[in-house]
């Protein structure tokens, strides 16, 4: 199992006025140290929203964004990455210009900006570089993250204050990245950040430190900050994997008394480096679990490695493939089949956009197989074997069968990949585990079987021992939660149970072989082998050469897909015999003798009771929302959850697990602070999950929608003064460059609008306001699009847009009343209902036609307002009739509906009866192909 094989390497710091990536990497060609920075042109899968960018920014914008299917073996053709969640709207809200001219302020700024913040702060001349460094740390380069808005880092969203906060935040991150072995203090910035900006400095610094974006890791100056005597209540960390270790160290630094319970005899969880030894002093360090750091521009574990003085080894891209008879695959055929494979992924991407919500219940495997049957012409056996190798590589990347992966969301985390080279840590990732577990109080062989939680605290039971704490964080793998190995009292909320059930948890196994000497090529790090049986296409399909980093002649063979499950019951001797046969078939025709291995190890991750698999994936019926659901705390801020399956952006990665631990440490400290101030934590009515989750649930089916605005209200209360909650979603592409050019070419607005990132293109940002029903109706009538509506909202009504927490207690009562009013209401939609936590497919769907269907419903107390999807005014519908928008494929109905009546009928059946439509994909594709939509 290899969670790290989809990980990304660290945001390697780059200081102002120097190479953006100054970290050293071991060059495998010369075995010396050299600089390495990957900056290919932006491809069509990562478009720059500004068609005429400033050429001077190209160096900062053009970094690679690896896709899941590129893991294992890099794809030559990177154009096929249209596989990603559709774009919606980009946050155009702050205007990055001086507010000396009030007319240039962002629409979201409703009140007069104080005199002490009426211009852009000029910290230094490296704003572009610092923005990119912040981007690698997971922040939007030029705006606030949703988490920052939730934390209330500034009182009002948008305007000059937000611009200055962002500049200060980016500068603090960049300053620490210059020397990650240091402890950055707030006082370091006093000399050149004016006194009247110190409030923003306090806010940015405190947020970054408390959430683990700076001053984390294992450097001596950072370890010194851990208090010798804890001053805060005791907390329990369940699991000593990377998530648990990260949470434990951070909580210890916050002053909590920490106890870590680990069921194994070792720390690290699914990251395990085993020392293999043989005669003649031959030995090697084999990573049997997480191993490859994919990317050098975002992984905090790379920072930990740097603090340890370790150098990362760049994995070279060349990966030759060998046929069944051991002969190399013809290069021309290799390129041909790989290009065809990429085209099929492109077509499947277009298909899911055309299918809309129905694609939620379709597997990626079904789509690819149908396309292969429809669009591929006669191929020979070798080409088919080569195609199956690429499918195995895809299953390796996702640790799941393609037949189980969601067509709609299998790659939902791709927008957050941060690019860079794939790397090994010489000597194995056990070095990271050892450093992170140092001086952490871990109790080994404590298998937790029961967790009790309430508003008063937690009890964790392991065997006959009971551990009590003020809070606990559960970091066990998703496989353990799926298996029900831990009993929760009370039972977890149904929404969390459903999320656990929906998400997939896949499998990857390995065979590690220590040989007496190296007999394979040392000028490559990977090579592959084809199979003639589709069901065993993942069996020993890829080999990793670890001789360059393991300290000895070590080869590791991977077993993915269906073969990984069969491998669990295969006798180890049979497995090793099969691998040796493959190696002899490749090297003996070259006159190279393949010796018997000195020592071998076969993994069995699915049989491991502490994980029951390898890493998570988005299965059919699931979505990225399920990762968020798994991350939600329960018990009024007493029981928290971390691990790779709780991070939507970085699932199935080592660094995702690590970051989730830092995230939950911040959340736990926040709840502890609230209780220490004797403030009651928000409690949602009749269930255990947070008010944020309840609000998100209500907005899954808003009462009114127009443009990027959505509204929830009590439909039974027709009083114009009755309260409603407005949500504004930012995420659409920004204005074209000719609109930007109208502004001062030397202003920071131009700079930051041009500094667009892949992260910003994908992130959705929600801000809120509490309005009256009449104000909502008036706002909807405003013409001129979202910009004019924002202007009306902020300038005419004087409304401030805030994060969810900024809504205050008044909004909580409104949310509760809306929830109560909806309590007995049946879902109004007859389309395929999204599972709890499921995001609606947005871009692409809105481009298709809407077919309206009338349905008789129970009479209400008044007319129903139905929002025009194009942003126009709402229409009043008679009480007994509701018009519903059904999102259907953009089929040509004029003159052709009858010819494809069965297809359309099947489509409606799939919508209304929630019937899976996999069996109809072939006919659906044939129709779309004829209409030239694919």
What is residue 244's predicted lDDT score, i.e. its pLDDT? 98
CA gap 548, 31 in Å, rounded? 9
Q: How far is CA 580 from the centre of its chain?
A: 38
Q: Which residues contact 573 (CB under 8 A, 6 or more apart)?
A: none
CA gap 645, 908 in Å, rounded? 34
Radius of gyration of the chain (CA): 28
Quick one: tokens of 718? 């027709």
CA gap 238, 241 in Å, rounded? 9
CA gap 931, 933 in Å, rounded? 6
Give the model confidence (pLDDT) of 44-53 as tens digits.
Answer: 333 333 333 3
CA gap 679, 666 in Å, rounded? 18
Strand ranges inside 490-532, DSSP E: 504-505, 509-514, 526-529
Q: Are the C-beta atoms of residues 21 and 12 closer than 8 Å to each other?
A: yes
- Candidates 572, 554, 584; CA nearest to 509 is 572
CA gap 410, 398 in Å, rounded? 8
3-state SS, one letter per residue, for 874-899: CEEECCCEEEEEEECCCCCCCCCCCC
Query: Does residue 685 have a cis bond before it (omega within 30 degrees)?
Result: no
The pTM is what? Answer: 0.74
- Candidates 89, 23, 20, 28; CA nearest to 57 is 20
Name the 3-class secondary structure at 595: coil
Name the 3-class secondary structure at 331: helix
Strand ranges inside 656-738, DSSP E: 704-706, 709-713, 723-730
Angle at 666 between CA 664 and CA 670, to 5 degrees: 115
CA gap 389, 588 in Å, rounded? 23
Q: Which residues contact 206 (CB under 8 A, 6 or more apart)?
A: none
- DSSP line for 98-128: -TTSGGGS-TT--SPPPGGGSS-----S-HH
CA gap 90, 734 in Å, rounded? 6
Q: What burial class does residue 181 get, using C-beta atoms within 10 Å of its C-beta: 0-12 exposed, 13-18 middle, 19+ buried?
A: middle
Q: Which residues of the chain have pLDDT under 70?
A: 1-118, 124-125, 374-378, 678-691, 731-764, 824-934
CA gap 530, 507 in Å, rounded? 20
Residue count of the chain: 934
Q: Which residues contact 821 (CB under 8 A, 6 or more apart)?
A: 714, 715, 716, 717
Report how far apart the first and last C-alpha atoms of the chain are (Å, whole number): 36
Quick one: tokens of 709? 């605005």
Q: Are the C-beta atoms of residues 446 and 453 closer than 8 Å to each other?
A: no
Q: Are the C-beta atoms of residues 199 and 149 closer than 8 Å to each other?
A: no
Q: Are the C-beta atoms of residues 505 and 3 closer than 8 Å to each other?
A: no
Give the model confidence (pLDDT) of 407-420 as tens digits.
Answer: 999 999 988 887 77
**b/e sequence 817-851, b meaning 16+ C-beta within 10 Å:** bbbeebeeeeeeeebbebbbbbbebbebbeebeee
Quick one: tokens of 47? 């478009």
CA gap 586, 377 in Å, rounded? 30
- Structure-token match 């190209």, residue found: 58
Quick one: tokens of 411? 């790659």
- Determine the number of helices (DSSP H) and then strands (DSSP E) in the chain: 27, 32
Q: Which residues contact 490 (CB under 8 A, 6 or more apart)?
A: 453, 688
Quick one: tokens of 535? 């069901």
């Amino acid at each position: 199992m290899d969670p790290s094989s989809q990980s990304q390497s660290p945001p390697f710091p780059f200081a102002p006025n120097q190479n953006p990536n100054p970290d050293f990497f071991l060059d495998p060609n010369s075995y010396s140290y050299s600089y390495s920075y990957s900056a290919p042109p932006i491809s069509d899968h990562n478009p720059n929203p500004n068609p005429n960018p400033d050429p001077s920014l190209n160096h900062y914008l053009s970094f690679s964004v690896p896709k899941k299917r590129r893991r294992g073996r890099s794809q030559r053709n990177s154009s096929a990455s249209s596989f990603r969640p559709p774009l919606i709207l980009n946050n155009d809200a702050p205007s990055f210009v001086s507010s000396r001219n009030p007319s240039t302020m962002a629409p979201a700024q409703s009140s007069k900006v104080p005199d002490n913040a009426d211009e852009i702060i000029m910290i230094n001349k490296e704003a572009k570089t610092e923005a990119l460094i912040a981007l690698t740390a997971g922040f939007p380069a030029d705006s606030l993250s949703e988490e920052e808005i939730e934390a209330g880092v500034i009182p009002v969203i948008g305007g000059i204050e937000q611009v200055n906060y962002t500049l200060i935040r980016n500068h603090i991150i960049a300053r620490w990245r210059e020397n990650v072995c240091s402890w950055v203090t707030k006082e370091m910035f006093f000399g050149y950040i004016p006194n009247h900006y110190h409030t923003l400095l306090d806010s940015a610094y405190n947020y970054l430190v408390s959430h683990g974006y700076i001053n984390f890791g294992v450097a001596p100056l950072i370890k010194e900050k851990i208090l010798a005597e804890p001053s805060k209540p005791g907390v329990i960390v369940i699991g000593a994997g990377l998530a648990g270790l990260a949470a434990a160290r951070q909580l210890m630094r916050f002053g909590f008394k920490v106890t870590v319970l680990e069921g194994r005899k070792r720390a690290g969880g699914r990251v395990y480096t085993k020392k293999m030894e043989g005669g003649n002093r031959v030995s090697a360090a084999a990573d049997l679990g997480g191993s490859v750091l994919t990317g050098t521009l975002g992984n905090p574990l790379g920072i930990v490695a740097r603090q340890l003085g370790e150098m990362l080894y760049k994995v070279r891209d060349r990966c030759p493939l060998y046929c069944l008879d051991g002969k190399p695959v013809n290069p021309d055929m290799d390129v041909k089949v790989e290009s065809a494979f990429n085209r099929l992924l492109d077509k499947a991407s277009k298909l899911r956009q055309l299918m809309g919500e129905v694609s939620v219940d379709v597997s990626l495997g079904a789509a690819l197989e149908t396309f292969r049957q429809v669009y591929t012409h006669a191929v020979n056996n070798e080409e088919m074997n080569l195609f199956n190798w690429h499918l195995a590589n895809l299953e390796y990347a996702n640790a799941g069968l393609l037949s189980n992966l969601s067509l709609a969301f299998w790659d939902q985390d791709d927008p957050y990949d941060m690019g860079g080279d794939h790397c090994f840590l010489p000597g194995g990732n056990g070095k990271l585990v050892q450093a992170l577990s140092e001086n952490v109080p871990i109790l080994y062989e404590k298998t937790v079987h029961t967790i009790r939680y309430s508003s008063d605290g937690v009890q964790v039971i392991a065997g006959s021992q009971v551990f009590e704490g003020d809070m606990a964080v559960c970091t066990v793998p998703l496989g353990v939660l799926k298996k029900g190995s831990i009993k929760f009292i009370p039972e977890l909320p149904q929404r969390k149970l459903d999320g656990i059930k929906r998400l997939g948890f896949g499998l990857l196994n390995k065979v590690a072989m220590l040989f007496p000497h190296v007999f394979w090529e040392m000028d490559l790090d990977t090579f592959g082998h084809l199979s003639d049986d589709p069901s065993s296409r993942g069996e020993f399909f890829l080999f990793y050469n670890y001789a360059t980093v393991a300290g000895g002649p070590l080869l590791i063979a991977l077993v993915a897909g269906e073969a990984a499950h069969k491998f669990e019951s295969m006798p180890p001797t049979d497995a090793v015999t099969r691998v040796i046969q493959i190696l002899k078939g490749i090297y003996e025709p070259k006159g190279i003798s393949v010796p018997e291995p000195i020592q071998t190890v076969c993994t069995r991750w699915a049989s491991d009771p502490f994980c029951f698999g390898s890493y998570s994936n988005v299965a059919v019926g699931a979505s990225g929302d399920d990762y968020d659901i798994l991350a939600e705390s329960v018990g009024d801020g007493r029981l928290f959850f971390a691990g790779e399956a709780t991070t939507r952006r970085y699932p199935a990665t080592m660094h995702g697990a690590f970051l989730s631990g830092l995230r939950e440490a911040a959340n736990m400290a926040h709840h502890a602070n609230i209780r220490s101030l004797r403030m009651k934590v928000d409690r949602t009515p009749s269930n255990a999950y947070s008010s944020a989750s309840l609000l998100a649930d209500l907005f899954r089916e808003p009462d009114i929608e127009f443009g990027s605005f959505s509204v929830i209200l009590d439909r039974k209360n027709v009083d114009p003064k009755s309260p409603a909650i407005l949500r504004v979603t930012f995420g659409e592409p920004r204005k074209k460059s000719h609109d930007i050019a109208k502004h001062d070419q030397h202003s920071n607005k131009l700079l930051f609008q041009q500094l667009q990132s892949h992260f910003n293109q994908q992130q959705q940002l929600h801000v809120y306001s509490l309005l009256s029903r009449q104000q909502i109706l008036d706002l909807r009538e405003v013409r001129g699009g979202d910009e004019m509506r924002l202007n009306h909202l902020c300038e005419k009504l004087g409304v401030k847009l805030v994060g969810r927490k900024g809504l205050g207690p008044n909004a909580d009562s409104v949310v509760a009343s809306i929830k109560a009013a909806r309590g007995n209401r049946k879902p109004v939609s007859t389309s395929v209902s999204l599972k709890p936590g499921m995001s609606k497919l947005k871009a692409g769907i809105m481009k298709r036609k809407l077919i309206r269907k009338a349905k008789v419903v129970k009479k209400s107390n008044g007319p129903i307002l139905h929002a025009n999807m194009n942003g126009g005014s709402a229409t009043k519908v008679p009480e007994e009739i509701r018009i519903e928008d059904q999102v259907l494929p953009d089929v040509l109905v004029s003159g052709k509906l009858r010819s494809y009546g069965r297809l359309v009928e099947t489509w409606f059946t799939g919508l209304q009866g929630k019937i899976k439509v996999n069996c109809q994909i072939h006919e659906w594709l044939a129709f779309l192909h004829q209409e030239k939509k694919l």
